[in-house]
Amino acid sequence: MPAGRPGPAAQCARWPPPQPLLPLLLLYVLGAPRPGSAAHTAVISPQDPTLLIGSSLQATCSIHGDPPGATAEGLYWTLNGRRLPPELSRVLNASTLALALANLNGSRQQSGDNLVCHARDGSILAGSCLYVGLPPEKPFNISCWSKNMKDLTCRWTPGAHGETFLHTNYSLKYKLRLVWYGQDNTCEEYHTVGPHSCHIPRDLALFTPYEIWVEATNRLGSARSDVLTLDILDVVTTDPPPDVHVSRVGGLEDQLSVRWLSPPALKDFLFQAKYQIRYRVEDSVDWKVVDDVSNQTSCRLAGLKPGTVYFVQVRCNPFGIYGSKKAGIWSEWSHPTAASTPRSERPGPGGACEPRGGEPSSGPVRRELKQFLGWLKKHAYCSNLSFRLYDQWRAWMQKSHKTRNQDEGILPSGRRGAARGPAR
């Protein structure tokens, strides 16, 4: 269906109204007057006019024949069901009532406003559809993408102002650029990703650029967009990465491991891929994005909160397909996958154990390690640097904390002196 077509509720009545076939046949057989003759007692002129916003309209309702009780003095006008003020009308003669409307606004419905001439008793004598609006403006901002090189979807913006107040038809046209005998093709599947979009499902050529443009047409004129030239290989996107798994990294309470598969729809094609990860905590709507995943299919998230549920998503950008130099288009995000970090078993700041008397303090060394590992965590979220040293250090630290808690932290304060022996 062409973009911009109004729904069934926004239809201007046609004049004269359509008549059922069977009653018309009976009237014809019985010799009654046919539609279009004396059966229609009045006519509005001009019929179904199209005007620019701000224009004026001079219309007349003329009675035909000599219908009983119908004279120009008893007629009145309605617009979209509302009676117009009598001062807008004037009697031209015994059978004609004139109407003057100035500075018209845009039509309230794209299929036209109902201008109706009534008899004194309220019966309808004649009607006309009034179209008031603007010609279409030049469509712009055309963007297109191909899902796994099998189709092409495009969308556009319908001009600077957009609203024309008239039914405006948008047609997406395309053709091969380098084929002199190529004919214009018209897209047929509209409204696929919004009101101004169209989908071409098949029969597309690779390695040959296309010319694509949009034509807009309504009762007041037409406009054509600039031509967009593209190669299907330059606008490829794909499905979100499948089989996204999020798991813990042993007992490390501030890390999660993320793994996924490359897009299966492109497995037979020569291409590269970039990935992005985003994650958030369970009770938040703010996502944090990890950009430096490159072409890996796994990543370790560090610096997380212990004992916290995280939701993780991954998306893919296929680029360089068959040597294309374009940047590629990101896929949709994968469905969220949830996992939680382990709860921290470290004592809080108030319960930290001090070094025993006579033991050399390891504070400077530990501070140095923390500084180094802080740098590692900051600069190596998903890089190729090894986390083996980091893992070993963290495991040693946790084991050390548990051992020291057992030696000192568990004993009540009143018994620590007895455990160490009598004071000398």
Residue ending a domain, among 308, 340, 372, is 340
For residue 413, pLDDT beyond 50: no
Same domain, 213 and 316: no
Residue 404 within any structural domain of the chain = no
Given this model, what pLDDT does residue 348 score? 41
Q: Which stretch of 97-106, 259-268, 402-411 has the lowest confidence by average pLDDT?
A: 402-411
What tokens does 215 get? 């034509």
Confidence of residue 394 (pLDDT cuts 50, 70, 90): low
Number of other residues whose CB lies within 10 A of the CB of residue 282: 10
Confidence of residue 321 (pLDDT cuts 50, 70, 90): confident
Same domain, 92 and 185: no
CATH number for position 243: 2.60.40.10
Same domain, 116 and 165: no
Same domain, 225 and 259: no
For residue 261, pLDDT beyond 80: yes
For residue 118, pLDDT beyond 90: yes
For residue 136, pLDDT beyond 50: yes
Mean pLDDT of all residues in the chain?
Answer: 79
Question: What string of DSSP letters covers 197-219?
Answer: EEEE-S---SSS-EEEEEEEEET
Same domain, 101 and 164: no
DSSP-derived letter for residue 111 is: T
Residue 2 within any structural domain of the chain = no
Between strands 236-237 and 140-147, the pairing is: parallel
Confidence of residue 344 (pLDDT cuts 50, 70, 90): confident
Q: Is 48 exposed, middle or buried (0-12, 13-18, 19+ CB in 10 A)?
A: middle
pLDDT per residue over 23-43, tens digit each? Answer: 333 333 333 333 333 345 899
Residue 180 within any structural domain of the chain = yes
Residue 319 within any structural domain of the chain = yes
Q: Which stretch of 40-49, 131-140, 343-352 has the lowest confidence by average pLDDT?
A: 343-352
Cα Rg of the chain (Å, integer)? 38
Given this model, what pLDDT does residue 415 score? 40
Q: What is the mean pLDDT of residues 10-29?
A: 46
Question: What string of DSSP letters covers 394-419?
Answer: HHHHHHHHHHHIIIIISS-GGGHHHH
Q: Which stretch of 7-16, 134-143, 246-255 has the lowest confidence by average pLDDT?
A: 7-16
- The sign of the dihedral angle between the CA atoms of 98, 103, 107, 108 is negative
pLDDT per residue over 324-336, tens digit each? Answer: 888 889 999 999 9
Same domain, 27 and 110: yes
Same domain, 269 and 188: no
Between strands 197-200 and 189-190, the pairing is: antiparallel
Q: What is the mean pLDDT of residues 100-106?
A: 94
Q: Express as a percent the part of the chain with pLDDT over 70.
A: 69
For residue 221, pLDDT beyond 90: yes
DSSP-derived letter for residue 267 is: T
Strands (E) across 219-265 are located at: 221-224, 228-230, 236-237, 245-248, 256-259
> Domain containing 99: what range?
21-133
Residue 310 within any structural domain of the chain = yes
Given this model, what pLDDT does residue 389 score? 55
Between strands 288-290 and 272-281, the pairing is: antiparallel
Residue ending a domain, among 174, 203, 234, is 234
DSSP-derived letter for residue 73 is: G
Cα torsion 117, 121, 123, 124 to 10°: value is -10
Same domain, 127 and 26: yes
Residue 10 within any structural domain of the chain = no
What tokens does 224 get? 């054509």
- C-alpha 238/C-alpha 235 separation (Å) is 10
Confidence of residue 280 (pLDDT cuts 50, 70, 90): very high
Same domain, 298 and 276: yes
Same domain, 124 and 62: yes
Is omega for the bond preceding 16 within 30 degrees of 0, making it cis? yes
For residue 355, pLDDT beyond 50: no
Same domain, 118 and 34: yes
Q: Can you tell me which residue has the tokens 């019966």?
A: 123
For residue 304, pLDDT beyond 60: yes
Question: What string of DSSP letters covers 325-346?
Answer: -S-----PPPPPEEEEPPPP-S
Given this model, what pLDDT does residue 65 score? 72
Residue ending a domain, among 108, 133, 158, is 133
pLDDT per residue over 49-75, tens digit each? Answer: 999 999 999 999 999 876 666 789 999
Confidence of residue 22 (pLDDT cuts 50, 70, 90): very low
Residue 46 within any structural domain of the chain = yes
Given this model, what pLDDT does residue 190 score? 94
Same domain, 197 and 209: yes
Confidence of residue 278 (pLDDT cuts 50, 70, 90): very high
Which region holds residue 320: left if phi is over 0, alpha if psi is between -120 and 50, else beta?
left
Residue 122 within any structural domain of the chain = yes
- C-alpha 280/C-alpha 285 separation (Å) is 7
Whether 129 contacts 111, CB under 8 Å: yes
What tokens does 223 get? 């406009």
Q: Which residue has the higher pLDDT, 235 or 41?
A: 235
Given this model, what pLDDT does residue 373 score? 59
- The sign of the dihedral angle between the CA atoms of 25, 28, 30, 33 is positive
Given this model, what pLDDT does residue 31 score? 37
Half-sphere exposure of 97 (CA within 13 A, CB side): 24
- The domain total for the chain is 3
For residue 378, pLDDT beyond 90: no
